[in-house]
Amino acid sequence: MAEDKDENIPRDIREYAHKAATQSVLSTQASQQAQEQAKIMREAGPYLTLGIQMILTIGIFFGIGYWLDHHFNTTPLWIAIFTAFGSVASLVYFIVTVIQLGKKSEGKK
């Protein structure tokens, strides 16, 4: 009896009804949101690591200075020198990277 009813319905309406019944309403919205988030992360990704790189650079140079101070018994000399060098180096890298990323993003537009 259900088959008799299906035969009276045009094929395109049946296909649409089947597609609408099997496809989640949220799946298209979720897909669009996922694509938007992926685009945002691709654009922001290079900037997200800059802070971590700065902290690690300064920390590593501080550690080298700390080790040298304890090895040569010259406390705070090498800590100050290497921390200052690490700070300058990380800041220069930060500025150069931001300028390069800015030029790269301007080139895409």
pLDDT above 90 as % of the chain: 45
Domain match, 63 and 104 both? yes
Domain match, 53 and 88 both? yes
Helix 77-108 with 25-48: angle, nearest 10 deg: 130
Domain total in the chain: 2
pLDDT above 70 as % of the chain: 86
Per-residue pLDDT of 12-62, as tens digits, reads: 777 777 777 776 666 677 788 888 988 888 888 888 889 899 999 999 999
Residue 94 burial (10 A CB sphere; 0-12, 13-18, 19+): middle
pTM: 0.64
Domain match, 70 and 91 both? yes
